[in-house]
Structure 1
Amino acid sequence: MSPETTQPTVKVLDKGFVRLVDMMGGDQGVVDAARVSYGGRSKGADSDKKLISYLLKHSHLTPFEHSLLKFHCRAPIFVARQWFRHRFAAYNEISFRYTEVKDDFYMPEKWRGQDKKNKQGSMAGADLDQEMLNGMFKKQVDGALETYKKMIAMGTAREMARMVLPVNLYTEFYWTVNARSLMNFVALRADAHAQWEIQKYGEAMAKLFREKMPWTYEAFLRHGWRGDNEGIAAERAALPPLEAVAK
């Protein structure tokens, strides 16, 4: 087992994960960045927690940019392409020019139907022939992988042979993001309006965020979360009453 696998990890979908490999600052980093404005530092846990809540409530967000989290992520390519639209972050992704592709594809548990109102959305409970769709899908994926392997065996460059592969192939990447951008990611991608697959990654990020920056996460639920997610809504409803926040 590599040292990295001892880091906090959340499994996602059938073969994916998000893993926190490093972080800097945390809740205390937010406090220090905010208090430097007037030459101060920590005033104790209670005061610092109230300060974080005050900052988010009043949209003073730059202090949250001083806390960084680095994740190792494994997701289907079609999920990663949505993910990479969050540009205020650093990315490094595995290259299939350098490495050969393995039999590593996302296989959905159940097919969803096209939403009748939302042109870019899907809906559960549609009357679909799940068995037939699974068979068609697996045949297509297996065929693409077999073609790829034959092309490699014939001497085709990896950078060209990969063109036959579908977007449910898993990719891996490192993602370094500040706490402000992470809150934006969770707000958008853990929301019910996002595609179901990336919702699961948004929820996984929320879990690690809660574990590593609990004060910021609580303040985010109180003042920053406006989305539609049953689990996160339940967390928010369970929060204790907020005391008066001192400046």
Structure 2
Amino acid sequence: MIELAIDFTYQGKEYPTLVELAKALPLNSAKLVQWTEDADRFAAEAGSLCYESEPRLGIVNHCRDSGHNTVLEHNIFSFVKKVPIFVARQDMRARHASFDERSLRYVRLKDGGFEYYIPPELKKPGREEELNQWIYHHEKAFELYGHYTDEEIMENERARALLPLGIATMYVDSRNAVGWRHHTMKRLCLRAQEEIRLLYRSIVNQLVEKAPRLFGDLNMPCFMKQGCGEAKTCGLIELDPVTRRAVAYEKKLKRSQVPVETKL
């Protein structure tokens, strides 16, 4: 029987509800909260049914690398995320994902419901004036929001239109293994925004821990089978002009004497 595991712990502390866990997360982070138990094994079982063979774990690698994605789709993984809105909106572009997001309609200023993102550039020495400006504009927006809503000048859903894109939002993001693979490969690319790339590196680490066969190969696209698909590259990694894979990756493949076509 397929079972879904649930875990509301973070940094050694168990939270009674998903809301409390989400609030405890630092801004721009994600925590795996639900997943298919023994996902690698079940993918192997599904693959063995297709080929009418013994359910060896190597089948997962074969299906994963050959694009036999339906075998991977039976496994579900859910994260709770606490990120700036501008990061969350990149998730909304994902295919085959299910979301449930905290509604700002129910957030009151007096309840301390707002956190916001501060870019690392503003935390550097000599940027105190710009940092103070950033903080001022956010706090002023919250002040106006509180005035409009607490004084019942307008409904929350209208007042929220003035809130900056850097404020935190919280949501559950559920996808099957293929959905996570598809979006993650794009967001690990060095051309992706740093905040998004770092978030997805954390997500990959958690996925690999639970299902190393399903996700163990995930990396920047230029360090994977398909190679770089960007018309404009990052310019930071030397690419093979034919395969558009990283030269360092090509050398690694040759040293391991594994054919590029299979890479099992």
- Paired residues, what number? 219
Contact 2:185 2:218 in 1 (8 A): no
Structure 2: distance between partners of 1:68 and 1:224 = 24
Report what 1:4 is aligned to.
Answer: 8
Structure 1: distance between partners of 2:31 and 2:185 = 19
Matched, 1:16 2:28: yes
Instruction: Tell me how far 1:78 sits from its aligned partner.
Output: 0.6
Instruction: Tell me how far 1:42 sits from its aligned partner.
Output: 2.2
Instruction: Tell me how far 1:226 sits from its aligned partner.
Output: 4.0
Structure 1: distance between partners of 2:143 and 2:67 = 53
Structure 2: distance between partners of 1:241 and 1:212 = 26
DSSP 3-state at the match of 1:65: coil
Contact 1:56 1:219 in 2 (8 A): no
Structure 1: distance between partners of 2:257 and 2:151 = 66
Matched, 1:95 2:103: yes
Instruction: Tell me how far 1:220 sits from its aligned partner.
Output: 4.1
Match of 1:153 among 150, 163, 171: 150
Match of 1:85 among 75, 89, 93: 93
Matched, 1:104 2:112: no
Question: What does 1:135-154 align with in structure 2 at a 5 Å threshold?
Answer: 135-154=132-151
Structure 2: distance between partners of 1:100 and 1:41 = 57
DSSP 3-state at the match of 1:215: helix
Matched, 1:194 2:198: no
After TM superposition, the score normalised by the length of structure 1 is: 0.75
Instruction: Tell me how far 1:6 sits from its aligned partner.
Output: 4.7
Instruction: Tell me how far 1:38 sits from its aligned partner.
Output: 3.7
Q: Percent identity?
A: 24
Contact 1:18 1:205 in 2 (8 A): yes
After TM superposition, the score normalised by the length of structure 2 is: 0.71
Question: What does 1:226-245 align with in structure 2 at a 5 Å threshold?
Answer: 226=227, 241=256
Report what 1:172 is aligned to.
Answer: 170
Which deviates the most, 221-230 or 185-194? 221-230
Higher RCO, 1 vs 2 (CA within 8 Å, ≥6 residues apart): 1
RMSD of aligned alpha carbons: 3.5
Deviations 1:196-234 (A, max 9, x none): 11111111111111111112223445855746799xx9x
Contact 2:108 2:146 in 1 (8 A): no
Q: Where does structure 2 lack aligned partners over 5 or more consecutive residues?
A: 1-6, 13-20, 229-233, 238-245
Structure 1: distance between partners of 2:202 and 2:257 = 26
